Amino acid sequence: MAARFITFEGGEGAGKSTQIRQLAARLRERDIPVIETREPGGTEAAEAIRSLLLSGSIKSLGPEAEALMFAAARVDHVDRLIRPALARGDWVLCDRFFDSTRVYQGEAGGVGPAMLDSLERIAVGRCRPDLTLVLDLPAEVGLGRVTSRLKESGDQPDRFEVEDVDLHERRRLAFISIAARAPERCVVVNADRPEAAVAEDVWRVVDLRFLQEAA
């Protein structure tokens, strides 16, 4: 069976990590080799850049500089982890990818499409997702989940989690608009439901697109 590259996108607390774990488990039950990864991050260098970005210490440099940093992390992630994994035949499930840059730094951050196109060409090249699942829910619900998780863990919110709900709602609409412009790649899933119901929808899409086709 061909390797598949599946990205999960959406707002804060949409349930991307949760759904990646569940999908990975179901694929492994079928003896499909799976790599779970995330952006920014996934390699040593990219995780170091992640710490810098999420700490907020370079926020003052502005969204263009942040877009460059996200792209630098992506170059390493694609070159050292994603592309080799796909070449080996592994499926790659990635928590956020270039759509997040389009939304956070682009549509909601003011970085222009020409710069984003160039960064995408450099960092992603032809390593494009076969499927993007956009987990959609009201920003307020996602932020509520993040707040509960932070209360439990005692962690502090990151640079993006502290931003106001209106900005997060604009990002939500930007993800929906990307999905509408790329219907062959993107599927929007209603994530404002119990985990198991969301997981069933995710599975249905993956099964229909890739597993039944291969049977």
Binding residues (CB under 6 A) for ligand T5A: these are: 12-18, 38-40, 54, 70, 95-96, 100-101, 104-105, 145-146, 149, 158, 160, 194-195, 198
Q: Which residues contact 31 (CB under 8 A, 6 or more apart)?
A: none
Kindly tell me which of 109 and 211 has the beta carbon lying closer to ligand T5A. 109
Nearer to ligand T5A, 30 or 149 (CB): 149
Minimum gap (Å) between residue 99 Cβ and ligand T5A? 8
Nearest approach in angstroms of CB 126 to ligand T5A is 19
CB of 78 to ligand T5A, least distance (A): 12
Closer CB to ligand T5A, 86 or 199, in the complex: 199
| Nearer to ligand T5A among residue 154 and residue 214 (C-beta) | 154
129, containing H or E segment: none
Burial 184-193 (b: 16+ CB within 10 A, else e): eebbbbebee
Query: Where does the chain have alpha helices with state H?
Result: 16-29, 44-55, 63-77, 83-88, 98-100, 113-123, 139-153, 165-181, 195-206, 212-214
Least distance to ligand T5A from the beta carbon of 213, Å?
28
The residue length of the chain stands at 215
